[in-house]
Chains A and B, each alone.
Chain A
């Protein structure tokens, strides 16, 4: 109700804003202007952006450097901008032809950046927005374009959670603001999405990261974890067809393999921990089976992309097709994606434009057999993979895991994939001078299918399947969004004003359907349909996700005085269906101010200093990333009981989890201060930002005691967290003759601190490993800090055991923990803070060189100051899994180690959470190394090709780290569980060769 009443008020104020706009009714007609744009040497510049100042009316120059566009009158100012050249603003002064010469510059200030619901000149920005352009995005060979952000924009952390083909990395903007769902949202051509797996790199024109509250506040409840705006490529008006073809292919292999004990070493350790020797002749064991070798491979991947774009004065078009085909480094896994995109605009009349951005994607993938990475890690190396008779070795007796090679044969059919149609259609109306109205309908619709088949097989008593079985699942999701905005733009002498208002609604809905049957009538793929199974064994399910709905009103004003003082105010009111009716509405204001000090008379003529701008901003953002139903618990069905002489299954249902009807918005208030500075004609630039973000009422599923009896943890508005940080970016570029070079350095320093935990008490604990919570979140410490025992040494003898009494029985050779509270006995009270999973520093270093036709680039990135819990090493499970070679340093009579304990197979104290399993997570990685050669123009022009470049590129070539796992990048979507390595699909290093040409 609260929301309703305010709506009325809000709509009234919108009307007033309209009224103000209409005071400037001014009809106008259209006049055509054309000309040619060249550089200082007289060579035509292709693709120069020509814009009527303060409007969206513009065109691009064609292959001959010619442009043509309609202007409302002959007194307008045209803005000519081109990357790498100084922009020019020229008043038409009644001319209808205007030839322009642009001079090369490293001045980038007039670059246009995309912001929420519009665009702005970079120099006009008051908020903090990081941009990355298409060339950068294409440098990293990956199915997911967010990989390209890694090490490129200060304050953006990208963690490749796994090397599984097609899998999305985890993205964090400016640290971890929240305890839950800390991922940013993506806005693709205006469409708000949580996931952008369907986009391919070649289609992207730019990605902008809205980092501070001022930039992101226009997204209100969705913006608390940052916003990434993605703009896809468009055609340009009045240009002939441009054909771009890109192709590359390459190979991937695991970036690193783990050091595990071989058969002889494993046998030795097994004998040592068993009462009587299991292996009588250790020498006979040899090196045994290297299971990692058995499951990994050198995997091929390739990408082909063809794009055709152009336009007349009536329309623009861009059509592209892309095929991304990736085999996984684990045998049997792959990810193939085919996509088609059509982005067109149509000028219906001088003041009406309609258009659409449509993308259709089809994907087909196969997932590796379940648990195979862990099984290869744990499998008994004394067992053979396959013996001479073709029988699979038995890895279940000692290590108690499935034979990974047999899994590749029997559990390898796990298909998934589907179709996605995403895009929008819009209409732009320019009814009056200074006013632009836009309405856009967006949609995103998936149809996903999965199918997995397991034949009848027998490997051993534990690894077997007596009946073939088929599972199928279908799901479909349909989201739509309707956005309406009105923009008013006006210059009054020294004042420049832009007002934007808008109304948006969004809805998400989904359904799923699936089933299984056993005893298929055939074992080959053409039988993988439920109808081919025995109907008596049928199971099925069908259901729907609770719909999610949003309704929002938004407003933003930008004001510039003398182009020196810039002010932005924005406000958004959001309603979300995820909350109870009492807590539904939320208000999200922001305010920002920037001062272009360089424009002051005092500095204007200062030699050397080419730019100086100060910025400060404040704003409130929200986060509602909780599952629907978190506020009201749902009844779980099919909790059936067995009764009666026929032993019938009698339906049962109940509440098994608790929910919280008082849930409300999580809010974050952030303050940002920073400056941009440029020297030597902006050859050297720096951007520095300092921020303070307080997130209150954080939404999190709180681990609660088991005695509460809830089968899941209820969400509560639990904690207040502060992120303080510093983002620095330095760029330098220069040119000496034919030699161009450019480098950039960026770093972000984050201090994450929990302020209070509200009603949940003094601490939040999560992730039970071997009977202990491994992480502790408490005021004064970073979120999800590691908590456990500190190792002081190893009990050397019975004397030691007496000297350092332990609450639990210990033996010589066991880890000796520090008596933290010095009460004379080692017990649970001696556990303490062990370190933070959040890096203190994220940094990157990029270098680009070019000489004549050759180009070279190298990108490095790294993190410093975080810890990783090597949890896979702590897992001893049901048997005696294989050991990491570090266990060979064990304490024993011949090796009285004071750092490594005797060999045991789980239990206190050697396998509980202690810093023995905590490792330094810092790393420095050569992420990209690329070289390219563009063929000389005189050579290729004869072949009717404009440009032709061949290139080679390597990704993840070297990583310098102390961490012993597959990769030090260990992420998690849940921030209470970050930095815990449970054995993941390893990261791969890749080398690709490719060609790109432009006709």
Chain B
């Protein structure tokens, strides 16, 4: 018995040696489950398309199309006031009053952040797509063209808002996080133009787009944006060259009915060069933007939050009988464009009128499920760019041709309003074209850029009683957090 026990013990001792095994070579090598990671991304053709779609996706984010965007375009300009109840998002009054600073309202930082996240996605695509081992080369070219166009669009807005900005053209590594400096404005424009050139040479014409690709950017969009870039830089000959390239392509025309242009039927229509695409799905809000909600009628009918209200000054500035006023502004007592209701007076609202261009027909889901495409660049804008540039180039007759095309469409079948403009002198015509831009593109987030670009901001804002300081308010402040993180490598804009 004792021997037996001893031998059992001996066996146990020997067995115990095997209690020190080693798991297989792969035990510590785990893979993420249900996910692709950086190591196996950009290995297949479809990954390139995904990465480009992800850039478009960012265009619909809160940071890029709601308070931050509207605050830094319409509300800050003479076209609109904050809107909603006095106490609601009171911080946005800083845009109306020019009291914003490097910290508040936080919307300025949200814009900065949202745009750089969009640039990050563009850079990921631009860096990754050329690495895809095997794919259709036409597709590769087209997708790269789209990514370059979108990056140019992002930088164009950034440089107009902030002036010198860090020029990030690839995903940064840890050593590069804190060492970036603000690039000279010229350098930023150089990148924008080279990106647009690449887009122009790689993208199809709008008419050559597959139906399923409707809404993707095209050669025409890139050429149109190029015209605007040159106009902003006051390079009028290039501005007119690129605007006329668009015009002469015959790819675009003016949508006959100005009011209907901003409804669903006008989306991606004959006039459209570039729109942020959105849709209201039933199950989720994955296709929506907050753009319609934040500007929607507040109260009854309950369509939104009621921000970004057209200002008294804008309403006053229309020529008598200009039908574009009623197409741009929704008033209390007005029947909604689709006849679905009447806007009732909401006593809590100040200055109660709404941006009709952001109004949308009824759609699935709540007001959060905003389906409206956001018009970024349309043919009328290009015509006015051409008109402005040609006038500066002392070609008033051609300028008038384009200007009057815009007025004619606005006029429609009415004969007593908006007569054609006739030439008097270059200076007067310049003012006329600027005025036409304001009216034609009112509440389309263009006004602020035009005011600063044409150096009218100080005069115009003082006229409406705003404390605009020249040399300061032409640019927005760089977020304090960025300056702090750069440990002084980034300087603040003057005056902040």
Give me the interface of A with B, judged by CB distance under 8 Å: 3-4, 7, 11, 14-15, 18, 22, 27, 29, 270, 274-275, 278, 349, 351, 397-400, 429, 431-432, 435, 437, 439, 461, 466, 484, 486, 501, 503, 505, 536-539, 542-551, 575-577, 581, 584, 628-629, 632-645, 647-656, 658-660, 702-711, 714, 716, 759-763, 765, 768, 770-773, 807-809, 828, 876, 878-880, 905-908, 911-912
Contacts and interface: CB of A to CB of B under 8 A. Distances in A.
A770 B103 contact: yes
Contacts of B371: 647
Nearest to A349: B5
B33 A547 contact: yes
Given A15-B17, A653-B54, A768-B481, A647 B279 contact: yes
A808 B482 CA distance: 18
B13 interface: yes
Contact of B215 (A435, A644, A710): A644
A649 B174 contact: no
Interface in B347-371: 348, 366, 371
Given A15-B17, A536-B282, A828-B102, A709 B174 contact: no
A649 B482 contact: no
A349 to B, nearest CB: 8
A944 B10 CA distance: 50
A652 B53 contact: yes
Per DSSP, chain B at the interface is loop
B16 interface: yes
B166 interface: yes
Nearest to A553: B20
B12 A431 contact: yes
A14 B102 contact: no
Contact of A708 (B17, B51, B120, B286): B120
Contacts of B283: 536-539
Given A546-B33, A551-B23, A644-B214, 13 more contacts: A22-B13, A27-B2, A400-B87, A577-B27, A632-B32, A649-B286, A654-B55, A705-B177, A707-B168, A709-B171, A770-B104, A876-B91, A905-B87
Nearest to A906: B91
Contact of B482 (A484, A633, A641, A705): A705
B28 A654 contact: no
Interface of B: 2, 5-6, 9-10, 12-13, 16-17, 19-23, 25, 27-39, 41, 47, 49-58, 85-91, 94, 99, 101-106, 109, 112-113, 116-121, 123-125, 165-166, 168, 171-172, 174-175, 177-178, 180, 211-216, 277-279, 281-284, 286-287, 298-299, 302, 348, 366, 371, 479-487, 492, 496
B484 A765 contact: yes
Nearest to B211: A645
B20 A14 contact: yes
B298 A466 contact: no
B58 A639 contact: yes
B135 to A, nearest CB: 16
A809 B99 contact: yes
6 contacts: A549-B30, A639-B54, A644-B211, A708-B168, A765-B485, A808-B101
A397 B85 contact: yes
Given A22-B13, A905-B90, A551 B28 contact: yes
Contacts of B481: 705-706, 765, 768, 771-773
Contact of B180 (A349, A634, A705): A705
Contacts of B57: 639-641, 652
Contacts of A577: 27-30
Given A644-B215, A654-B50, A711-B117, A11 B20 contact: yes
Nearest to B282: A536
Contacts of B479: 706, 771
Contacts of A628: 30, 32
A461 B298 contact: yes
A22 B171 CA distance: 60
Contacts of A714: 174
A576 B27 CA distance: 10
B485 A828 contact: no
Contacts of A429: 12, 16
A442 B6 CA distance: 30
A673 B124 CA distance: 53
Contacts of A765: 481, 484-485
B446 to A, nearest CB: 23
A757 to B, nearest CB: 11
Nearest to A585: B28
Contact of A651 (B25, B53, B484, B485): B53
A641 B52 CA distance: 9
Contact of B172 (A3, A274, A708): A708
A503 B20 contact: yes
A906 B90 contact: yes
A394 to B, nearest CB: 10
A907 to B, nearest CB: 5
Given A704-B485, A907-B99, A635 B35 contact: yes
A16 to B, nearest CB: 12
Contacts of A652: 49-54, 56-57
Nearest to A716: B174
Contacts of A876: 90-91
Contacts of B104: 770-771, 906-908, 911-912
A539 B365 CA distance: 14
Contacts of B171: 655, 658, 709
Contacts of B13: 22, 431-432, 435
A653 B487 contact: no
Contact of A640 (B39, B47, B94, B287): B287
A542 B366 CA distance: 26
Nearest to B371: A647
A27 B9 contact: yes
A503 B120 contact: no
B36 A634 contact: yes
B90 A879 contact: yes
A656 B28 contact: no
A908 B88 contact: no
Nearest to B303: A461
The 6 closest A-B pairs by CB, nearest first: A771-B103, A709-B120, A652-B53, A654-B54, A641-B56, A647-B279
A714 B172 CA distance: 12
A22 B17 CA distance: 12
Contacts of B112: 706-707
Contacts of A658: 171-172
Contacts of B105: 907
Contacts of B88: 400, 878-879
A787 to B, nearest CB: 9
A907 B2 CA distance: 87
Contacts of A584: 28
B19 A505 contact: no
A374 to B, nearest CB: 17
Contacts of A549: 27-28, 30
A644 B212 contact: yes
A43 B212 CA distance: 93
Contacts of A632: 32, 37-39
A605 B260 CA distance: 104
Contacts of B286: 638, 640, 649
A906 B103 CA distance: 11
Contact of A351 (B9, B17, B487, B496): B9
B482 A707 contact: yes
Nearest to A579: B28
A337 B230 CA distance: 69
Contacts of A638: 286
**A649, A809, A905: residue with the most chain B Cβ atoms closer than 10 Å:** A649
